[in-house]
Amino acid sequence: LFHYSEYLVTAINNPRSLSLDSFLLNHSFEYNLAALSSWVEFTLEKFLFPELKQITWLSTVGLLMVIFGDCLRKAAMLTAGSNFNHIVQNEKSDTHTLVTSGVYGWFRHPSYVGWFYWSIGTQVLLCNPICVVGYTLASWRFFRERIEEEEITLIHFFGEEYLEYKRKVPSGLPFIKGVKLEL
């Protein structure tokens, strides 16, 4: 559902950037390795420790994280409209605007916040303790680096307007403040 809805929202919002890559199935080697690790952990633990996979309240928490994360990500995509792209843009188009309303008023990077909690939630849902830790650390590192890279571009595109927004609105991810500016 996550991957199909990524494609569908891109088709609605920004059809010019639509491609098979919009499904995000071939995101990266690391993404595919994480998925494989999740399946292996779930299968092994299901056979070795079946009671671990029957913690209903924990699976419910995971499901809520998945739903929250996916809804937040899709809200970010819809709010940003044609400004949203799966690839960080290096050149500002004439129609590119800084979006600060809706979910972007809560977090500077709501699509990343959504994906972060969605990915961890998938592992909580499956009661995969090893992958919960692995997904948390890997996702955090990925988004820390991605946010820093993206914010340099946003400062270049929007200058003081973005810096003011950055001062007022948190990134949304724990312990990630974004790019640090040295004066």
Q: How far apart are CA 172 and CA 76, in angstroms?
A: 12
For residue 181, pLDDT over 80 is answered with: no
For the domain that residue 144 is a member of, what is the CATH number?
Answer: 1.20.120.1630
pLDDT at 182: 61
Inside any domain, residue 21 = no
pLDDT digits (tens, 9 = 90+) for 13-24: 888 887 877 777
Inside any domain, residue 92 = no
Inside any domain, residue 10 = no
Q: How far apart are CA 155 and CA 151, in angstroms?
A: 6
Inside any domain, residue 16 = no
Q: Tell me the Ramachandran region of residue 90: left when phi exceeds 0, alpha when psi lies from -120 to 50, beta otherwise.
A: alpha
Domain with 166, as residue range(s), is 54-83+97-182
Inside any domain, residue 136 = yes
Inside any domain, residue 63 = yes
Judge contact between 120 and 135, C-beta under 8 A. yes
pLDDT at 13: 85
Two tokens at 131? 């992958």
Q: Tell me the Ramachandran region of residue 158: left when phi exceeds 0, alpha when psi lies from -120 to 50, beta otherwise.
A: alpha
Inside any domain, residue 127 = yes
Inside any domain, residue 149 = yes
For residue 183, pLDDT over 60 is answered with: no
pLDDT digits (tens, 9 = 90+) for 50-94: 999 999 999 999 999 999 999 999 999 999 998 888 777 788 888
Judge contact between 77 and 13, C-beta under 8 A. yes
pLDDT digits (tens, 9 = 90+) for 105-147: 999 999 999 999 999 999 999 999 999 999 999 999 999 999 9
Once rounded to an integer, what is the mean pLDDT over residues 164-171? 96
User: What's the total number of domains in the chain?
Assistant: 1
Q: What is the amino acid identity at position 121?
A: G
